[in-house]
Amino acid sequence: MNRQRIMRTEANKNIIKENRKKDMKNLRLGLLFISPIIIGFCCFDLYPIIMSLYYSFTDFSILRAPEWIGIDNYVEMFMDPLYWKSVLNTLYFTLIGVPLLTITALLLAVLLNLRTPLIKAFRALIYIPSVVPTVACALLWSWILNPNYGLLNSVLRSLGVSNPPGWLADPTWAKPGILLMLLWGTGGQMVIFLAALQGVPDSLMESARLDGANAFQIFIYVTIPMIRNVIFYCVITQAVALLQFFAQAYVMSSASTSGSLGGSNNCTLFYGLYLYQEGFGFLKMGYASAMAWILLIISLFATWLLLKFSDMFD
Amino acid sequence: MEYRKMLSALLVPAMVLSLVACGSTGTSSTGASKTDSTAGTDETAASSGEKVTLTMWQQWGNGHEAEVMQETIDKFEKENPNITIDATCVTDSSKILTAISGGNPPDILSLWDTSVLGEWASQGALTDLTPYIEKDAIDKDAFVPKAFDTVTYDGGIYGMPFILFNASLIYNADMFTEAGLDPESPPKTFDELLEYAKKLTKVDANGNITQLGFVPTWPGSNMTKGIGYNFGANFYDESTKKITANDAGIINAFAFEQRFFNEIDGVTPQDINNFVASGGAYLTADDLFESGKLAMVIDGPWSLQYVKENAPDMDNSIKVAYIPTSSDCTDLYGTSYLDCNPQIIPAGAAHPEEAWKFISWETTNEEVTKTFAEMAKNLSQLKSVELDSIKEDSRMQLFADMAASDKARSFPAIANGSEYVTNLNDIEGKAMLDKTYDYKAALDDLNTKLNK
């Protein structure tokens, strides 16, 4: 009995040793296969990230060697009213944008999940805008949002609004205008939701229906919990994307007659734009690096918060 | 799963960081240290006739402009068989910065204006041409008096001035007549200009602007940086080397702009802003001026040519006059900003000697200057050049006179120039939209911040 047990453990040990050898070999092979991405990541992501941490403690203009100044950049940032303006702009944009875009995409997906004729055509129509390249989309929308001749204001006028907003030219309406543009391009998220919705088993819905649940109840108590992970995925990626919002705002402000990067009264000076302006416009790379690090911390914090929030439902 | 989510969320902001850091690899050791490559040390190649290929990054443009550039280069290469020039259109200044800081800059930079000259020169990114100018005894008197002011930073000359531009008051005489104003007597002070603008502005029954008399923020006017001079503004004190953001002239200019936006009857500043934003792209037939919806602008010589091309019916009614002045400095009547397309040798250029040969040839050659001035619809930096565009269009003479005048003023090259101008424009924008905004305090703060 005892002897047998000993022999078994011996055998086990051998097997474990064998396996470990195999694992090591596999690991080595695996690492070799993904080495391009590892090397690429180290050279083009990790190295710049570490360097930017160093630069954030220096006075660095790109053209001259960086000069160590300790935490001066961070101190300056917290005393810079324009920095706070960019933070507030970005937070406002993210806090309103994320729920707005996610809920719209979800509702669209629900509608497009109905089994009606021509549904494929509708799906394609809603998805098409998200295929339009970013810059083209931004230029197109700066015309749609044109105060006097824009499509949007023409429609508003024909509906009887005598003095429609100036959109991008008006500090209070510029951010809603940009959100409208993002809503138009929400097809990408819609497709993800649609796929998730189609993965919800019919049997669950069927049994809920048999238990007497109406369509709304099924949606709230069956569909939403089933696609919860997808919703969180979309919320997190959307939040991170909006915190770093740059391209469209850059194109729209360069296309405007005011020519100022932050738009009228800096109302669309988002975090990314201000960072770009300080770094590449004013050659304050150290300051821009410090801003980037704070943005990283904000993004991490937002992600952590959202994950905590999602844990509450487990 | 959770760990992976976290990681992917981490990677996205990483992209922002890498964007910031991407311009910085291989820092400045190469770029800045080569600044003091003095003239004369590199003469071997130029005199021995060894084959040299120069790279040139130009900002004239890609199409027709690139062809004209190539014709000029061909001519130069014929006279200098040992030099070949390879020109590319590069308008992205972060690309230029990266090239200089990476120690691999082009030999020649042809920029579209001097707005970055002070910043780059102060960082040691540009070659001081003074020794070359002295060695070759370039005759500065052949240039219009203020030409070299546009390219001077802290006593050094960091580019050869090439093809000048400035601005004047350009107005639509038909709209003047219609509003009961005499087109032969344009406004001479900004107070008059405001009165004219009020008469030239039309508002429909719904309160929408259909025609505007003037707007201070027209692209070609260079904003405050441009018209500030006509309020007697001094942006920089050369003797103390300090920025003077709260100069009385700048304050007066902002006061006028605030009044302008708030004193037009029946419309709010935001209405004016919306109307201006509604215009099509600048210098197209849809822009507010060329489509006959704006009566007066402060703009450069090129705008006359664009009217001719885009709106030929309107051309006869377009007149030009000096930019008005504030009523307390009428002696400045005839003043305008002056800028040029600087021809630059970046620090660390591989063949500065040959590069100098080209830019000194190009900027002192009458024929080349004439070709480029007419192509860009701008003005000559050389006194002796007679442009066909002036012979054909007498209105161009006013621009040329202003550029050649001692009253011309160029915006000083300052180490933190872009930050200064961007901040001025921001304060200006706020002052225009909000009449309660304390722009004087903002200018004081800006002055403290930039002189730190």
Residue B369, chain A, CB below 8 Å: the answer is: no
- SS3 of A120-176: HHHHHHHHHHHHCCHHHHHHHHHHHCCCCCCHHHHHHHHCCCCCCCCHHHCCCCHHH
Quick check: B355 and B345 in contact, CB under 8 A?
Answer: yes
What are the structural domains of chain B?
42-165+339-404 (3.40.190.10), 168-336+416-450 (3.40.190.10)
Quote the pLDDT of residue B159: 97
For chain A, say whether B441 makes contact (Cβ under 8 Å).
no
Q: Is B260 part of the contact surface with chain A (CB cutoff 8 Å)? A: no
Indicate yes or no: CB of B21 within 8 angstroms of CB of A281.
no
Whether A44 and chain B come into contact, CB under 8 Å, resolves to yes
Nearest to A300 among B10, B276, B426 (CB): B10
Q: For residue A257, what is the nearest residue in chain B, using CA coordinates? A: B277
Smallest Cα–Cα separation from B346: which of B70, B129, B162? B129
**Cβ B157 vs Cβ B148: under 8 Å:** yes
B4: nearest CA partner in chain A:
A233
Q: Of residues A264 and A219, which shows the higher confidence score?
A: A219
Res A4: pLDDT: 67
B436 shares contact with chain A (CB less than 8 Å): no
From 1.10.443.10, 1.10.12.10, 1.10.3720.10, 1.10.260.40, which CATH number describes the A85-286+300-311 domain?
1.10.3720.10
Break chain A into its structural domains and give their ranges. 1-33, 85-286+300-311
Is B31 in contact with A62 (CB distance < 8 Å)? no
CB neighbours of B58 closer than 8 A, spacing ≥ 6? B66, B69, B87, B88, B89, B90, B109, B110
Measure in Å the smallest separation between the Cα of B33 and chain A Cα atoms: 9
Is the ipTM, as predicted for this complex, more than 0.90?
no
- What pLDDT score was predicted for residue B193? 96
CA distances from B234 to A143, B221, B247 (A): 38, 17, 6
In the predicted model, is pLDDT for residue A175 greater than 70? Answer: yes
State the count of interchain CB pairs (< 8 A) between A and B.
186
- Looking at chain A, which residue has its C-alpha nearest residue B6? A303
Contact between chains at A296 and B124 (C-beta distance less than 8 A): no
Contact A307 B24 (CB under 8 A): no
Cβ contact (<8 Å) for A52 and B21?
yes
Q: Which residue, among A86, A144, A229, A283, would best test binding to B if mutated, counting the most B CBs under 10 Å from its CB?
A: A283
Looking at the complex, does the CB of residue A263 fall below 8 Å from at least one CB of chain B?
A: no
DSSP secondary-structure letter at B228?
A: G
pLDDT computed for residue B5 by the predictor:
44
A55 contact B CB<8A: yes
Alpha helix segments (H runs only) across chain A: 2-33, 35-41, 47-55, 72-78, 81-112, 119-127, 134-144, 151-158, 174-184, 187-198, 202-210, 215-218, 224-226, 228-243, 247-255, 271-276, 285-311
Who's near B175: CB < 8 A, 6+ residues apart?
B200, B211, B292, B295, B317
Closest chain A residue to B29 measured between Cα atoms? A65
Mutate to test the interface with A, among B19, B20, B437, B446 (most CBs of A within 10 A): B20
List chain A residues with CB under 8 Å of B29: 65
Confidence of residue A252 (pLDDT cuts 50, 70, 90): confident
More confident residue, B225 or A135: A135
For the stretch A26-81, pLDDT in tens is 999 999 999 999 999 999 999 999 999 999 999 998 888 899 999 999 999 999 98
* DSSP SS3 for B209: strand
Per-residue pLDDT of chain B (452 residues; tens, 9 = 90+): 344 444 444 444 444 444 444 434 333 333 333 344 444 444 444 455 689 999 999 999 888 889 999 999 999 999 999 999 999 999 888 899 889 988 899 999 999 999 999 999 999 999 999 999 999 999 999 999 999 999 999 999 999 999 999 999 999 999 999 999 999 999 999 999 999 999 999 998 878 899 999 998 888 887 777 789 999 999 999 899 999 999 999 999 999 999 999 998 888 998 898 898 888 888 888 899 999 999 999 999 999 989 999 999 999 999 999 999 999 999 999 999 999 999 999 999 999 999 999 999 999 999 999 999 999 889 999 999 999 999 999 999 999 999 999 999 999 999 999 899 989 988 988 898 888 999 999 999 999 999 98
Q: Which residues pair with B383 in a beta bridge?
A: none
Question: What is the model's pLDDT at position B94?
Answer: 84
| pLDDT for A18 | 85
Closest Cβ opposite residue A307 in set B2, B22, B425 = B2
Residue B382 is predicted with a pLDDT of 96
d(CA B92, CA A58): 25
Confidence of residue A238 (pLDDT cuts 50, 70, 90): very high
Phi, psi of B53 (to 5 degrees): -110, 125
B25: phi then psi, degrees, rounded to nearest 5: -60, 145
If pLDDT is split at 50, 70 and 90, which confidence band does A257 have? Answer: low
CB-CB under 8 Å, A65 with B119: no
